[in-house]
Amino acid sequence: AAAAQGDLEWKKGPCRFCGVGCGILVGIKDGKAVAVKGDPRSKVNKGLLCVKGYHQTMCIQSKDRLTHALVKKNGTYVKTPLDEALDLVASKMKETIEKHGKDSVAMYTSGQSTIPEGYVASKLMKGAIGTNNLDCNARLCMASAVAGFLTTFGADEPMGCYEDIEHADYFITWGNNMAEMHPVLFSRMLEQKQRRGAKIVDFATRTTRSSTASDRSILFEPQTDLAVANAICYEIIENGWMNKSFVEKHCNFTKGLTNIGYGLEDKFAFKDKATPIDFEAYREFLQDYTPEKVAKYSKVSVQDIKYLAAIYGDPNKKVVSYWCMGMNQHTRGTWMNNLVYNIHLLTGKISQPGNGPFSLTGQPSACGTAREVGTFTHKLPKGVVTNEKHRRLAAKIWKVPYERIPAKPTYHTTEMFRAVDRGDIKFIWTQVTNPLVSLPKTSRYRPALEKESCFVVVSDVFPTPTSDVADVILPASWHIEKSGIYGNSERRTQHWDQMIEGPGETTPDAWMTIEVAKRMGFGDLFPYSRENHVEEIYEEYIQFHEGKKHGMAPLKALKRKSGVIWPYVEGKSTLWRFNAEYDPACDNGKAFHFYGKPDGKAVIWQRPFEPAPEKPDAEYPFWLNTGRVVEHWHTGSMTRRIPVLHQAMPNAYIELHPDDAMDYGISNGDMVKVISKRGACTMPASINERGLPTKGQVFAPFFDEELMINDVTLDAFCPISKEPDFKKCAVKIEKV
């Protein structure tokens, strides 16, 4: 009604939710956010939003909002002045370091943290304290993409951009339900389908809304995407579709280790071993992946494999491959990323308008924060801890002794919570994330965090199962209650100014980190002002990019525009990396330059099919797959507090194939217990509703903290990226 009266002040920013990074305009009246609409000037969404985007601000005023700090005293949470709570956090952190060493404390942050928030967390842990015990929840969603980029190209983040959608003839989605996970991008694809006949091919393990809206849906047996990708490469080579001149100029062939384990044992040090091979050796390796051989175990027909290969192999067709969690949350996630790159490299369909592999992200700043400012254990802002030059640069900018920054990564996410369980980590601070719903096998990690041996600090906007086990709960600002900067899936950095005041003592996470750092005696390293800390931190951060041809936009450019893509060059389009026409860092005089690698050549990896760590058997006869739904975002801590979204999707469910449901006498809505070797979860059956798993598979979304499917999942991970596989484990079902 207020909008209709036209008396709103509209302020711009990015959406709080997914990695698409749509531009929003928030209507403000009397200091309150009362409306949201898509920003028509945003190059990402051109005014369009999805259902989550439109309703995002409706959770801010939720009755159970965390507005003040809470400190647990004798088992009860006591409202405490924020200053006092921050004193306690700082003194506990300091005391723990003094008693048990700097590696006994940890921070666990998020791809939902802003760039300044991630930056100061990295500076506190790595520069001030001197521990690499910092990881973030992007480990659960994007780590395989990072490892895939680094192993193939030596440089992280996609080379293309969303504008590819307007150029491509084919979109091939690999295990990615874009209609629900990246709905605004999917709408852009559908528009191209209608306007000029672009085709969408959905390659997945179950039928989803994306499959039904696609031109062709091809289903595969879980884990066999590895084999199908190799079969596509086989077909490309044997049919003479390889772009020989591109491959000769720009690629090397390399073989990696095989049988690399699944991260189930408590070991996390793994180093891949790369051995150069020649083209003939690679071609020989592919002889095990003829369409006929692969069809036998992938359940993809020979005809469908040949169809996919022919699309990639057609020199007159432009193809974009999209993927997200289906490929990344995979015990061979790095390999799967490498394999899709192989397809694009063999055909030379890469880094050009409408041609390229594109890994999407799930969180609003999985790229900007998790990957760019050093919130993974192995990362520094624009660098890695294992590189001496990068450590020296960080030490110089942070004004700390070089020796203080440790050269070895410590705990990735799963191992961090295993270390809490073992008693090695005695203090952990989580910011903007909810691991007790999002970790795999939460049935193991919940008791670990409940132990008295670990002091738990949780910063969040709402109570969650993670804050339920905290010793101190800090009240965080929601995104429009603070200024911030996010980086989306297409390397677009987006700044916004604070739009409204938050309630009570809610405070930006960056400022709470700074206050704790000051109380620990690191005040001289954190000289930022409360009013301008976002800008001051960003100005410091971009010093890491000084003199680089692939740097970030200056603050004034960010403030001027609705998002700026890096590499930033004033007045130049830099939409496609590694392509000399667009990327200023290409300086070898050739059309393409993969400058992340010493010889400027990308790597075509020999990566075999290997089975999943746990497969259905006589006792546990079903594959379990988990994921999301369009109405809810991640663990549902925000979207379940938005009435319209909660009403549309009130609880999680278990999706069954109708034949399996009939075999077990299960009807729609019946309660079904899903049981694995690790735990159980009871949820209502969904048959012939939104999605359709193939026979022998079940699917459940993970957004529901009451019906928590992650009690059931397996904490196996890709040994290269350390990203867990939430998409495959063995379960049995019982009608309750």
* 256-291 core/surface letters (b: 16 or more CB in 10 A; e: else): beeebebbeeeebeeeeeeeebebeebeebbeebbb
Respond yes or no: is residue 141 known to be catalytic: yes
Q: Specify the residue, 52 or 206, whose C-beta has the smaller distance to ligand SF4.
A: 52
Respond yes or no: is residue 52 known to be catalytic: yes
Q: Of all residues in this chain, which one has the CB nearest to ligand SF4 in the complex? A: 53
Stretch of 44-52, 106-114, 199-207, 478-486 contacting ligand SF4, by CB under 6 A: 44-52
Residue 59 sits in the site that holds ligand SF4 (CB under 6 A)? no
Respond yes or no: is residue 662 known to be catalytic: no
| DSSP track, 228-280 | HHHHHHHHHHHTT-S-HHHHHHHEEEEE-------S-SS--------EEE-HH
Residue 178 sits in the site that holds ligand SF4 (CB under 6 A)? no
Residue 52 sits in the site that holds ligand SF4 (CB under 6 A)? yes
Own/partner pairs for 121-124, CB < 8 Å, 24+ apart? 121/375, 121/431, 121/513, 122/373, 122/374, 122/375, 122/379, 122/380, 122/381, 123/398, 123/517, 123/525, 123/526, 124/513, 124/516, 124/517, 124/522, 124/526
Q: Specify the residue, 331 or 359, whose C-beta has the smaller distance to ligand SF4.
A: 359
Q: Sort 506 into a burial class: Cβ within 10 Å, 0-12 / 13-18 / 19+.
A: buried
Q: Residue 731 corresponds to which tokens in the numbers above? A: 């379960």
Cα atoms in the Cβ-side hemisphere of radius 13 Å centred on 700 = 34
Residue 25 sits in the site that holds ligand SF4 (CB under 6 A)? no
What's the one-letter identity of residue 108? Y
225 labelled binding-site residue? yes
Interatomic CA distance for residues 514 and 167, integer angstroms: 45
Stretch of 42-50, 120-128, 458-466, 542-550 contacting ligand SF4, by CB under 6 A: 42-50
Among 13, 53, 406, 693, binds ligand SF4 (CB under 6 A): 53
Residue 636 sits in the site that holds ligand SF4 (CB under 6 A)? no
Residue 26 sits in the site that holds ligand SF4 (CB under 6 A)? no
Among 8, 13, 15, 540, binds ligand SF4 (CB under 6 A): 15
Residue 49 sits in the site that holds ligand SF4 (CB under 6 A)? yes
What's the one-letter identity of residue 700? A
Respond yes or no: is residue 142 known to be catalytic: yes
CB of 16 to ligand SF4, least distance (A): 7
702 labelled binding-site residue? yes
Q: Specify the residue, 37 or 293, whose C-beta has the smaller distance to ligand SF4.
A: 37
| DSSP track, 457-506 | EEEESS--TTGGG-SEEEEBPPGGGS-EEEE-TTSEEEEE---SPPSTT-
Interatomic CA distance for residues 413 and 430, integer angstroms: 12
Binding mask 179-198 for ligand SF4 (x = CB under 6 A): ---xxx--------------
Residue 128 sits in the site that holds ligand SF4 (CB under 6 A)? no
CB of 183 to ligand SF4, least distance (A): 5
3-state secondary structure of 9: strand
Among 12, 17, 491, 636, binds ligand SF4 (CB under 6 A): 17
Q: Specify the residue, 188 or 550, whose C-beta has the smaller distance to ligand SF4.
A: 188
Residue 50 sits in the site that holds ligand SF4 (CB under 6 A)? yes
Interatomic CA distance for residues 284 and 608, integer angstroms: 12
Q: Specify the residue, 125 or 324, whose C-beta has the smaller distance to ligand SF4.
A: 324
CB of 658 to ligand SF4, least distance (A): 31
Stretch of 47-55, 134-142, 231-239, 306-314 contacting ligand SF4, by CB under 6 A: 47-55
SS3 content of the chain, % helix, strand, coil (to 5): 35, 20, 45
3-state secondary structure of 662: helix
Stretch of 49-57, 379-387, 522-530, 642-650 contacting ligand SF4, by CB under 6 A: 49-57
27 labelled binding-site residue? no
Residue of 136, 325, 336, 708 with catalytic role: 325
Q: Specify the residue, 21 or 313, whose C-beta has the smaller distance to ligand SF4.
A: 21
Residue 20 sits in the site that holds ligand SF4 (CB under 6 A)? yes
* 179-215 core/surface letters (b: 16 or more CB in 10 A; e: else): bbbbbbbbbbbbebbeeeebbbbbbbbbbbbbbebbe
Respond yes or no: is residue 708 known to be catalytic: no
Residue of 160, 313, 356, 362 with catalytic role: 362
CB of 322 to ligand SF4, least distance (A): 14
Quick one: three-class SS letters along 560-603?
Answer: HCCCEECCCCCCCCCCCCCECCCCCCCCCCCCECCCCCCCCCEE
141 labelled binding-site residue? yes
Residue 353 sits in the site that holds ligand SF4 (CB under 6 A)? no
Q: Residue 583 corresponds to which tokens in the numbers above? A: 């990327």
Distance of CA 149 to the CA centre of its chain: 14
CB of 634 to ligand SF4, least distance (A): 11
Distance of CA 650 to the CA centre of its chain: 25
454 labelled binding-site residue? no
Contacts with ligand SF4 by CB under 6 A lie at 15, 17-18, 20-22, 45, 49-50, 52-53, 182-184
* Catalytic positions, written as ranges: 52, 141-142, 325, 362-363
Where is the binding site, in residues? 15, 18, 22, 50, 52, 112, 137, 141, 223-225, 325, 329, 434, 459-460, 482, 509, 626-635, 702, 710, 727
